[in-house]
């Protein structure tokens, strides 16, 4: 007891001679060494901040109780503070990671932003009547399957009465894997780093549509006025699509049953397959040689484009769709000929009635971009994924006119094929010294780092 009283009295005398902060630190240090170390680190950080040594802790928002030095931030409020945080110079590691993410984002938006269907579809052409006499079994079976699909989707009479349509939803995209010829598989981005965004789709008969897609701070928008399909990306600007007018593939993913049935009007039934536990009929549709030739340009030649539709035998609805197109890029400098095969496999889920029409309200897509050539060491494969959900759907929206589908003024007289969306480095190696195609792409392209403030937007 005497030693304890002597210890406490000595402690009280020491505390009187020190500041309150020091006395608290001493008591903590005597009681717990770990807490003493944390206290010392905290005191050092406070002293550095008060003495303007090092960097101050980053604030989570504007400080309303700041002094005169933060008057500018108080005057600007949240908007100025957010703008200042966005313009802060990133670290070297952060800059490298951002560069990879921008590269993946460009590839994601280029391939999945606004892909088109393989052939031209006219909504004014009636669907073929079911005919068995003098008709191949593959064709008559496909006609029967389409009649079942049309009936399950709401009926031809109701779908023909729709003048325009609107849909809004959310998307998540990510580049999942990158594989080389050596067998090494690299994960480009994890599910936590998936790019999220939104899209808006407008459609109007006949053959007019417009879509806006915003993902990861970049925007892709495309449209069709019935005579011209155009597209605008941050790296290529506004340009027209090569070939005939074609529907938007995103609309075929359970959003537009009438156009989907018209797309498969001349398809053939090639068999059956079980998809997600459901027995399905398979309809196959191939683009004709004239369409493929019109879509090709310069050294880039589209060899084939095939579309498969999987229709459930139980419900009659389209639950799976897969398309694949193969592009050959011939080098004019005598180099290696490169082939690009793009495969998009989509699953449609959660069908619900919207004003009497069955609409798929969610789905997912798996994309494979396969590059191969004459040597096995040049083979690469990139896998990407997309998930989407539909939040709003409406038909016969009042006030929608043809003026909403007018293309930009700088689109006229400039058309580019789908090969421009292939990775730039590989395309540059393959094309070598090709003339007009490479010149046209180089004149339009600009780095994604030079995006202006309009690239940050919301739906």
Q: Where are the alpha helices (DSSP H) in 223-296?
A: 249-252, 257-263, 289-295
Q: Helix or strand or coil: residue 289?
A: helix
User: Quick count: other Cβ atoms within 10 Å of Cβ 205?
Assistant: 15
**Tokens at 37, concatenated:** 């170390």
Cα 342 from Cα 387, distance rounded (Å) = 18
Exposed (0-12), middle (13-18) or buried (19+): which is 293, by Cβ within 10 Å? exposed
pLDDT digits (tens, 9 = 90+) for 358-409: 999 999 999 999 998 877 777 888 899 999 999 999 999 999 999 999 998 8
Distance (Å) of CA 192 to CA 93, 175, 188, 383:
18, 12, 12, 17
Instruction: Report d(CA 361, CA 391) in Å as an integer.
Output: 7
Entry field: residues in the chain: 459
DSSP 349-360: EEEEEETTEEEE
350 upstream amide cis, omega within 30 of 0: no
- Where would I find the H helices in 378-431? 424-431
What one-character DSSP code corresponds to residue 248?
B
- Listed as ranges, residues in the chain with pLDDT below 70 are 1-103, 126, 128-134, 183-192, 334, 412-414, 424-459
pLDDT value for 14: 59
pLDDT at 1: 59
For residue 250, the SS3 value is: helix
Cα 70 to chain centroid, rounded: 40
pLDDT of residue 105: 81
Q: Burial level of 253, CB count in 10 A (0-12/13-18/19+)?
A: buried
> What would the pLDDT profile of 213-229 be if each residue is shown by its tens digit?
999 889 999 999 999 99
**What is the structure's pLDDT at 414?**
64
DSSP 407: P
Contact 360, 459 (CB under 8 A): no
Cβ contacts of 220 within 8 Å, gap of 6 or more:
109, 113, 114, 212, 213, 231, 232, 233, 234
Q: How far is CA 284 from CA 85, 308, 348, in A?
A: 52, 5, 18
* Closest to 108 in 3D by CA, of 418, 449, 450, 382: 382
Maximum distance among all Cα pairs of the chain, rounded to whole angstroms: 116
Please tell me the pTM assigned to this model. Answer: 0.70
H or E stretch covering 406: none
Measured CA to CA in angstroms, residue 297 lies from 171, 372, 418, 434 at distances of: 31, 20, 9, 11
Residues 124, 127: Cα–Cα separation, whole Å: 9
The structural domains of the chain, with segments of one domain joined by +, span 115-455
For residue 380, the model assigns a pLDDT of: 87
């Amino acid at each position: 007891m005497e030693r304890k009283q002597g210890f406490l009295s000595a402690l009280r005398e020491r505390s009187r001679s020190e500041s309150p902060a020091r006395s608290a630190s001493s008591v903590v240090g005597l009681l717990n060494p770990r807490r003493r170390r944390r206290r010392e680190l905290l005191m050092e950080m406070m002293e550095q901040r008060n003495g303007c040594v090092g960097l101050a802790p980053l604030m989570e928002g504007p400080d309303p109780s700041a002094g005169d030095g933060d008057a500018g931030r108080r005057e600007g409020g949240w908007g100025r503070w957010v703008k200042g945080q966005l313009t802060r110079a990133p670290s070297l590691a952060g800059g490298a990671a951002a560069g990879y993410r921008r590269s993946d984002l460009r590839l994601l938006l280029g391939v999945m932003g606004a892909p088109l269907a393989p052939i031209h579809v006219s909504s004014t052409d009636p669907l073929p009547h079911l005919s068995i006499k003098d008709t191949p079994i593959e064709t008559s079976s496909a006609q029967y399957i389409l009649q079942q699909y049309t009936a399950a989707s709401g009926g031809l009479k109701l779908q023909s009465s729709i003048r325009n349509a609107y849909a809004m939803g959310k998307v998540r995209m990510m580049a999942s894997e990158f594989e080389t010829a050596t067998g090494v598989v690299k994960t480009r981005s994890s599910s936590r780093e998936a790019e999220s965004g939104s899209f808006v789709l407008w459609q109007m008969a006949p053959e007019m549509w417009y879509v806006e897609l915003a993902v990861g701070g970049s925007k892709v928008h495309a449209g069709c006025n019935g005579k011209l399909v155009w597209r605008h990306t941050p790296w290529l600007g506004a340009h027209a699509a090569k070939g005939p007018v074609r529907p938007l593939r995103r609309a075929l993913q359970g959003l537009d049953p009438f156009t989907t049935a018209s797309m498969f009007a001349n398809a053939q039934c090639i068999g059956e397959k079980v998809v997600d536990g459901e027995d399905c009929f398979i309809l196959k549709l191939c683009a004709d040689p004239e369409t493929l030739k019109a879509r090709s340009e310069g050294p880039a030649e589209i060899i084939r484009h095939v579309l498969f539709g999987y229709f459930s035998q139980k419900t009659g609805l389209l639950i799976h769709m897969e398309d694949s197109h193969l592009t050959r890029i011939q080098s004019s400098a005598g180099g290696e000929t490169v082939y690009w095969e793009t495969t998009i496999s989509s699953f449609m889920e959660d069908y619900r009635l919207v004003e009497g029409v069955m609409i798929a309200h969610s789905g997912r897509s798996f994309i494979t971009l396969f590059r191969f050539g004459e040597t096995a060491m040049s083979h690469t494969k990139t896998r990407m994924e997309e998930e989407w959900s539909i939040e709003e759907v409406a038909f016969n929206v009042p006030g929608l006119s043809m003026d909403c589908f007018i293309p930009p003024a700088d689109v006229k007289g400039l058309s580019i094929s789908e090969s421009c969306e292939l990775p730039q480095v590989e395309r540059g190696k393959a094309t070598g010294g090709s003339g007009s195609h490479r010149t046209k792409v180089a004149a339009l392209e600009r780095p994604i780092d030079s995006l202006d403030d309009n690239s940050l937007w919301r739906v």
